[in-house]
């Protein structure tokens, strides 16, 4: 990859999740290592509770595949990034189009 | 991503994230793999 991920340990970090349960876990994890530079907000990736052009870097893992409208998500991430800012994420993608019948078959999407 | 305005878009090689996992059969049916993605917002 072109970009080497380096975030200074004292960088201001802001986490976003849509559920209070996950926010509680994140806050507890941050507290367990006495992280002073991280805060968390409730919200959705399609409408981030983040100011325009605030972030130097946006990271995501395993979320975008769950979003119905990917364009809305990328537009929103673009909005919160500063000019020159970087988006990095890891996720799954299907190489074979999923038929509508399969999309509606929950058994195919769960273990 | 390009439609949003991102540039320097890169996609990593596929990773078999479902190998030996409970969802492996479903993943194989639709050719699902894990990928890393990166992109940059233009400076101006």
For this complex, say whether ipTM is above 0.90. Answer: no
Long-range pairs, A2-6, Cβ under 8 A, ≥24: A2/B8, A2/B10, A2/B38, A3/A86, A3/A88, A3/B10, A3/B38, A3/B40, A5/A57, A5/A88
Which residue in chain B is spatially nearest to A94 when comparing CA positions? B32
Residues in chain B within 8 Å Cβ distance of A98: 30
Question: What is the CB neighbour count within 10 angstroms for residue B39?
Answer: 26
Query: Tokens 């507890």 belong to which residue?
Result: A28
Q: Cβ B36–A1 below 8 Å, yes or no?
A: yes
The residue-averaged pLDDT of A49-70 equals 94
Query: Could you read off the pLDDT of B25-44 as tens digits, one per residue?
Result: 777 777 889 999 999 999 98
Task: Tell me the residue ranges of DSSP E strands in A19-80.
Answer: 38-42, 55-61
Is 70 exceeded by the pLDDT of residue A98? yes
Token duo for residue B1: 């991503």
- pTM comes to 0.84
Contacts of B36 in chain A (CB under 8 A): 1, 88-90
**What confidence category does residue A5 fall into, taking pLDDT thresholds of 50, 70 and 90?**
low
- The per-residue pLDDT for range A25-47, each reduced to its tens digit, is 999 999 999 998 999 999 999 99
pLDDT digits (tens, 9 = 90+) for B9-26: 999 999 888 877 777 777
pLDDT for the residue A1: 46
Instruction: Mark out the alpha helices in chain B (DSSP H runs).
Output: 24-29
Pick from B21, B23, B41: CB nearest A85: B41
pLDDT of residue A3 exceeding 70: no
**Chain-chain contact of B41 with A83 (C-beta, under 8 angstroms):** yes
- The answer for residues whose C-beta is within 8 angstroms of residue B9's C-beta and 6 or more apart is B1, B2, B37, B38, B39
Output the pLDDT for position A18. 94
Over chain A, what is the mean pLDDT? 89
CA gap A50, A64 in Å, rounded:
18
């Amino acid at each position: 990859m072109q970009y080497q991920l380096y975030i200074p340990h004292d960088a201001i970090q802001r986490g976003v999740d849509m559920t209070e349960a996950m926010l509680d876990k994140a806050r507890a994890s941050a507290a367990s290592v006495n992280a002073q530079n991280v805060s968390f907000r409730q919200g959705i990736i399609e409408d981030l509770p983040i100011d325009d052009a605030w972030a130097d870097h946006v990271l995501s893992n395993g979320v975008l595949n769950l979003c119905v409208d990917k364009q809305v998500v990328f537009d929103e991430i673009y909005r919160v990034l500063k000019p020159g800012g970087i988006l990095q994420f890891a996720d799954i993608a299907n190489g074979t189009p999923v038929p509508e019948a399969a999309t509606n078959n929950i058994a195919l999407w769960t273990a | 991503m390009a439609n949003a305005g991102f540039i320097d878009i890169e996609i990593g090689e596929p990773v078999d994230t479902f190998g030996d996992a409970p969802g492996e059969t479903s993943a194989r049916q639709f050719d699902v793999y894990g990928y890393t993605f990166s992109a940059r917002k233009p400076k101006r």
